[in-house]
Homo-oligomer: A and B are copies of this chain.
Amino acid sequence: MTIAATTPDEAAAIVRRAAAASALWRTSSIGDRVRALTAVADALDAHADALIDQAQRETHLADGRLRGELLRTSFQLRLFGEVLDEGTWLDARIDHADAGWPMGAPRPDLRRQLEPIGPVLVFAASNFPFAFSVAGGDTASALAAGNAVVVKAHHGHPELSALTTRIVQDALASADAPDGLFDTVYGTDAGVQALKDPAIQAASFTGSIAGGRALFDIAAARPQPIPFYGELGSVNPAFVTRSAAGARGEEIVQGFVASVTGSAGQLCTKPGVLLIPADSGLESLLAAARLPAPAPLLNRSIADGFREALGATASHDDVSILAGSPAAEGDPAPVLLKTTAAALRDDHENLISEMFGPAALIATYDDEAELLAVAEVLDGQLTATVVGSEDDAVARDLIPLLSTKAGRVLWNQWPTGVSVTWAQQHGGPYPATTSVGTTSVGTAAMARFLRPVSYQNIPDALLPAALQDANPLGIPRRVDGVMTTTA
């Protein structure tokens, strides 16, 4: 790479500056933070052409896809500004003193809010060079929550990381944010060193199961273990009922193929397994589906990993090729493999496994009960999809069962294209994520970088603004157990 690896001394200094900046930033007003996030969003938009130009050179992703991703990136910075203003993120709770509290002892005056967790280390992803990288959702939500951020750049796009870092730093400076609030380190060693630095109080990661688990283990083994919010891997199975297959075969195949091959299949929510009725005609539609031309993947290690995963699944005794062909050389072509639901259930450890790239495994079933049997053996997933009709009896069992396996359950839509909203959930049971109670996309992502503090019997003038009697921030609060809104 053309950007030099960060030396141990440099990495230590960056974390030290981040810790100092974090101590200042935690006391910043909501207005200060909104101004800073908006300045970063504006700066990204203003530099769109240069950013996209550099991103294309390093990631091979298409111009349109990258422009959409950059729009999403600045949008989510502004959305966290809205979230900050609205104030529910503080989870402010006030319990007034109550001498008659039925616990058997008087209740003191207790007031609780969420406060910044401290400096956050963000491991950037390869496949979203904007939205899950230097200025992505983790950075946005950690800054919004009042913390300094150190990014460990992904080796797949170092120049873009450096360019983005300069843009973010200039924008933060223009908004009078503290020096050192945001910086980037390069190289695996610098990332691991930062993860072990006592000043870092939380880390986030998007990437592979092996890499994420290794970092999770380091975070857990620290003298002071810290939360590690890792989004690792997901197969995102989709279940087509018999009635849906009969009614909308063409539409299902078209939507599925587009979802599998978009961004050359390099999306963490790509539907990697599709269950279809054996006798529905869907199989022949899939076999005849027009697949996109071979396209370069993000980088060589992604391409090697894809070939290996595809090869392992394709060489399974119960698997054959349905469409496309695994290319030994050159850019990978999209491939659809074929097996049965029974094989999937019986050897789920080998067959239900992520192939990060343009491939998926189609599994045929004879009886809709097999859908439940496969759902039952699933590991944790980011998403699970049901393609069905509202009166399908199997849907009534399948949806609640899938909700125990996945963070997001979809109906008649495809899981790629993760919308940034209040109700989004991007994260599921392990190995989808290492932290099952959290999301890395959507407004709830801020909660990862906050911790609760209660204040007991503290005079109004010494309380944080969110907890003062007069509610100077004008935010929704829970008062004596009752949610109050300001609307």
Contact = CB atoms under 8 A, between A and B. Distances in A.
B437 A450 contact: yes
Given A225-B430, A419-B108, A456-B410, A487 B482 contact: yes
A86 to B, nearest CB: 7
A487 B483 contact: yes
Given A452-B439, A454-B407, A457-B412, A423 B462 contact: no
A408 B109 CA distance: 12
Nearest to A224: B430
A163 to B, nearest CB: 21
Counting chain B CB atoms within 10 Å of each CB, which of A118, A406, A423, A462 scores highest? A423
Contacts of A443: 481
A122 to B, nearest CB: 17
Contacts of A23: 404
Contacts of A112: 422-425, 444
Contacts of A406: 453
Nearest to A486: B483
A103 B390 contact: no
Contact of A458 (B118, B216, B409, B420): B409
A48 interface: no
Residue from A201, A443, A453 having most chain B Cβ neighbours under 10 A: A453
A115 interface: yes
Interface residues of A, number: 96
Contacts of A29: none
Contact of A117 (B437, B452, B455): B437
Most buried by B among A417, A456, A485: A456
Contacts of A422: 93, 95, 112, 478, 480-481
Interface string A394-429: 011001100110111111110001011111110101
Contacts of A86: 481, 483
A284 interface: no
Nearest to A392: B462
A68 interface: yes
Interface in A68-107: 68, 71-72, 75-76, 82, 86, 88, 93-95, 101-105, 107
Nearest to A389: B459
Contact of A419 (B107, B399, B404): B107
A436 interface: yes
Interface of A: 23, 26-27, 68, 71-72, 75-76, 82, 86, 88, 93-95, 101-105, 107-108, 110-112, 115, 117-118, 201, 216-217, 220-221, 224-227, 380, 390, 395-396, 399-400, 403-404, 406-413, 417, 419-425, 427, 429-431, 434-439, 443-444, 447-448, 450-459, 461-462, 464, 476, 478, 480-485, 487
Q: Which 7 A-B pairs have the closest CB atoms?
A: A425-B454, A93-B423, A220-B220, A112-B423, A71-B104, A110-B423, A410-B456
Given A227-B437, A409-B454, A427-B452, 11 more contacts: A27-B400, A105-B417, A115-B404, A220-B225, A396-B462, A399-B455, A403-B453, A411-B455, A422-B481, A439-B452, A444-B452
22 contacts: A68-B105, A93-B422, A95-B423, A103-B420, A118-B404, A220-B220, A224-B429, A390-B462, A396-B462, A399-B458, A403-B464, A410-B457, A411-B456, A423-B454, A423-B478, A424-B454, A425-B452, A425-B454, A437-B447, A443-B481, A444-B452, A483-B487
